[in-house]
Structure 1
Amino acid sequence: MGYSGTIVVGRSERPLVELRALRRFGYRHHWLRQLGDGWQLVETAGWDDPPDLVGATRALSAESGSPSFGAYVNDSDCAGMCVDDGPLTHLPDVDAPCAVYSHGAGKEPEPRAVDEVVDEFVAWSGRAGLTADAARIRHALTGDEVADELLFRLVEALGVRRIGRTEKWAFGISSRPYALITSYFGLATRARARLAWDEAPPEPWETAAIRLDEDLWAALYRPDADVATLTTRVAEVLEAYNAHQVQANEPDRRHEELFAMLTAGTLNPDHEDDDHGRRWADRRATAE
């Protein structure tokens, strides 16, 4: 299984995850990195990926007052990417259409000349007050590594001081009890999936699970996060969910089995705060 998700580069005096425009890329702001001189990189995701990268990058630049760059990666195979004043571009093979994936919002990358894309990124770097390395940009655009690795090489080539290590979380969102809400098999995902195809109104537990999922991710990098209250809310959602299941005539047995494993810790077992995902992510970090 490869890397899927959105990579965002922008500049702000505040943590980039606090900017409202970043929500247009996604709300699951998993990793936040410092690139130096106020530049930051966020790895995020949403429920209905891929996002509208063109609209999102423009919105982020308007809010932050600085150039921005965004890309969505499809299972490490390829990516759609754009700077805040440019079109959606494919990676790799910028000069050919993508025949496999959808790259979001009904807009697909159009083939472009490599020289044109190199010039675009060099100009973006100049607007950002950085010094790009055109040769390294070209290598990132034409390399044969997986798409997410090419994107990190591209960010380096734009002239940032470093690719920083991932910032610490306020709490372990990938561990229990929070993962009972936020994980792929958690209650928020189940609620959203059911509501996506079923016209029946949401159950109280579904509304609460979706709201809590968003609040948990929004609090992840806040030093003053009210972890105790968030934990209490997890218990309340579980109680409402369990009450609904008692009343349900035909519960989803397959999901119940998976959720029981998640609750017991046998599905995606818990790890320490610096888990294997963080260690893997921090391999991308570079020295200044």
Structure 2
Amino acid sequence: MGYWGYFVVGRAARPLAELDALAGAEGLTRRAAGPEGWQVWEYPGPEGEIGSMNALAEQTGAPALFGYVMDSACVVVEAAAPDSGGWTTCLARTAMAARLGADRQGLTLEDYFLDPRDAAERAVAWAAEAGHTVTADAVFDVLTADPDGVAEKLLFRLLDLLGAPLL
């Protein structure tokens, strides 16, 4: 069995775990801190209430991102920024499609997540709002890549591209 849990990325002067937007996520653990208040926190487990990524972006006035790792096979990425808004995509799309197919609800990847090209453009805007420049092609490559071992690696590559601190 692989890893299940959230990685929460945001930028604030105080610890993200202390903010109202993440009040329901008791047990958050700080995993990384970077310049300008960037922080990465972890919330392990397949269940629980993490809070609202949109509320986190609003409360901090900065871009925020949640990466929900599912059994180290795939990752749901939710991101928001005060000006460019929210967007959702996934990493390890083949594994995610298989997971959705197992639910037998008739919904497809496209019913849940942005097309990789659209998500890449939204990620470029997110990064720009965070003060970082990235190309849509570089993000697209990560969004369409198959994981090399565990899907978390794709999430960490995406965070690196977007200018967030690495674990």
Give TM-score, length-normalised by structure 2.
0.77
Note the alpha carbon deviations across 1:117-176, whole angstroms, 9 max, x for none.
10010011111222224333222211221221111110001023x42xxxxxxxxxxxxx
- DSSP-derived class of the 1:21 partner: helix
Query: Do residues 70 (structure 1) and 66 (structure 2) align?
Result: yes
The answer on 1:59 being equivalent to 2:55 is: yes
Amino acid at match of 1:77: A
Q: Which residue of 1 aligns with 2:162?
A: 158
Higher helix share: 1
> Does the Cα contact within 8 Å between 1:133 and 1:159 map onto a contact in 2?
no
Match of 1:202 in 2: none
Alignment of structure 1 residues 135-154 onto 2, 5 Å = 135-145=137-147, 146-154=150-158
Q: CA deviation at 1:47?
A: 7.8
* SS in structure 1 at match of 2:26: coil
- CA deviations 1:178-207 (Å, max 9, x no partner) are xxxxxxxxxxxxxxxxxxxxxxxxxxxxxx
Partner of 1:14: 14
1:70-149 equivalence runs, <5 A: 70-84=66-80, 85-93=85-93, 97=97, 98-100=100-102, 110-145=112-147, 146-149=150-153
Q: Structure 2: how far apart are the matches of 1:57 and 1:42?
A: 13
Partner amino acid for 2:152? D
Name the CA shift for 1:18/1:46 in 2 (closer, same or farther; >3 Å): farther
CA distance in 1: counterparts of 2:91 and 2:79, whole angstroms = 13
Indicate the residue corresponding to 2:41 in structure 1: 42
Runs of 4+ in structure 1 off by over 4 angstroms are none
Question: Per-residue CA shift, 1:51-79, capped at 9, x if unaligned?
Answer: 47xx6111111211111111211110112
Kept in 2, the 8 Å contact 1:90–1:110? The answer is no
Greater relative CO, 1 or 2 (CA 8 Å, sep 6+): 2
Larger-Rg structure? 1
Alpha-carbon distance between aligned partners in 1 of 2:75 and 2:153, rounded to the nearest angstrom: 11
Structure 1, gaps ≥5 residues long: 102-107, 164-284
Query: 2: CA distance between counterparts of 1:23 and 1:91?
Result: 27
Q: Distance in 2 between matches of 1:47 and 1:143?
A: 24
Q: How many residues align?
A: 152
Task: Classify 1:37/1:45 alpha carbon distance in 2 versus 1 (closer, same or farther; 3 Å).
Answer: same
- Taking only aligned residues, the RMSD between alpha carbons, in angstroms, comes to 2.6
Give distance in 2, aligned partners of 1:63 and 1:46.
25
The answer to whether 1:27 aligns with 2:26 is yes
Provide the TM-score with structure 1 as the length reference: 0.47
More strand by proportion, 1 or 2?
2
- Residues 47 and 73 of structure 1: CA distance in aligned 2, closer, same or farther (over 3 Å): closer
